[in-house]
Structure 1
Amino acid sequence: MGQKAMDTFRKCIPLFQALSDPYRQDIILLLAEKEPLTVNEITDNLTLSRPAVSHHLKILRDQHLVTTVQKGTQRFYSLALDQAVGELKELIDTVENTCI
């Protein structure tokens, strides 16, 4: 395996870690179905506390999987998967071209 493949795998580790949690997966699926949503609306649809949901949203935001829009005192969350999908496509291309 070449250095490019290793670098691409390493670059995707934080994304894989963010996606590995079932609650974060639930948040992504919920937003895919009903976006945009506030923290309270997300909390109403999960079995987590509001602070726990906020924690998971921060991780998703840090990995550029969700974005926020402030409207008054409310913060609305939406999916922002373009960067993550691009990284995963790059990984797949690299694996196909260097590992198979």
Structure 2
Amino acid sequence: MAERGSVPRTILDISNMPTIILYIHEKGEIVGTDLKNIVNNYPRMTKLADLLVSLDLATKKIEMKPMKTVTYSLTKKGEAVARHLRAAANILGHYAEEE
């Protein structure tokens, strides 16, 4: 990943990525359009999902019949990342934005 100053960036620096990983982990397998619950911009949504696949954190399956359906699930590596993210979230507690 690119560096910002002297601090290396990770996938966790990408907006919505931890939430996407945890969402897939919670559901087990999702249809790509389910990510609209997190990212409402379709091109960005597919870019983030494909990045997970390219980093071997998720798998992508495309079925053409009866209609085109794209599903994502986490790999073993993705599951390990999700478990660590969940543990960190449990330590940090819930956060609610002020309105």
Q: TM-score, normalised by structure 2?
A: 0.59
Give me the CA root mean square deviation: 2.5
CA contact (8 A) 1:67 1:79 kept: yes
Count residues with an aligned counterpart.
71
> Could you tell me which residue of structure 1 aligns to residue 35 of structure 2?
42
> Could you tell me which residue of structure 1 aligns to residue 69 of structure 2?
74
User: Greater share of helix residues, 1 or 2?
Assistant: 1
Task: Kindly provide the CA deviation profile for residues 21-70 of structure 1, in whole angstroms up to 9, marking residues without a partner as x.
Answer: 24111110000111311221111x11431111111112111100010122
CA contact (8 A) 2:58 2:74 kept: yes
> Could you tell me which residue of structure 1 aligns to residue 18 of structure 2?
25
CA contact (8 A) 1:69 1:77 kept: yes
In the TM superposition, 1:3-18 aligns within 5 A as: 17-18=10-11
Q: TM-score, normalised by structure 1?
A: 0.58
User: Greater share of strand residues, 1 or 2?
Assistant: 2
Structure with the greater alpha carbon radius of gyration:
1
Note the residue ranges of structure 1 that are not aligned, 5 or more in a row: 1-12, 86-100
